[in-house]
Amino acid sequence: MGKRGPQQITLDDLDIREDGSIYYNGIPKKFSKHSGGYVVTQCDGKLQYVHRLIAEKFIPNPENKPEINHKDGNKTNNRVSNLEWNTSRENTLHAYKIGLVNNDSKRKLTMEQANEVREKYKTGNYIQRELANEYGLTQQRIHQIVTNKSYIDNTNLNEVIIY
């Protein structure tokens, strides 16, 4: 007789709770941290993000938003009260607003230089490749700057659109 492997736990076997805990047969399920800092658990033969399991069970998503935001920025706080459905744009904007992302870290340009790039491009006298060579950046980065996808002034994020 061959060895029988461990029983595979399915979502239906889990007791998922609003406080962010998950139980299996009355026993708290073990969690681990994923490389991105999110809490995961084994279910259906694969790693599952705990925040997604909680949100899918308890938080309506009528607009079918694809991402789940941790309101306090703490990826291990998976209480229902700390989670909300978001778009990628909303999630990124939130990260800037609460200081999870520093808009100035590892930048090759100052905000003044980025605004200068935008102004030069607006004149129509420069193409992106020329600006890339002048400022020591890639053409892709210049495109992100002139389309306001990079080097965004975070002093007034309510008026900024981040794609």
Q: What are phi and psi of 77, to 5 degrees?
A: -90, 95
- Please state, for a pLDDT cut of 90, what percent of the chain lies above it: 55
Instruction: Indicate the domain borders of the chain.
Output: 11-97, 111-159
The architecture (CATH level 2) of 11-97 comes to Alpha-Beta Complex (3.90)
pTM: predicted TM-score of the whole model, two decimal places: 0.63
Q: What is the pLDDT of residues 17-54, one digit of tens each?
A: 999 999 999 999 999 998 788 999 998 889 999 999 99
Is the pLDDT score of 161 beyond 80? no
Residue 65 CA to residue 88 CA, distance in Å, equals 9
Helices 111-123 and 139-146, packing angle to 10 deg: 90
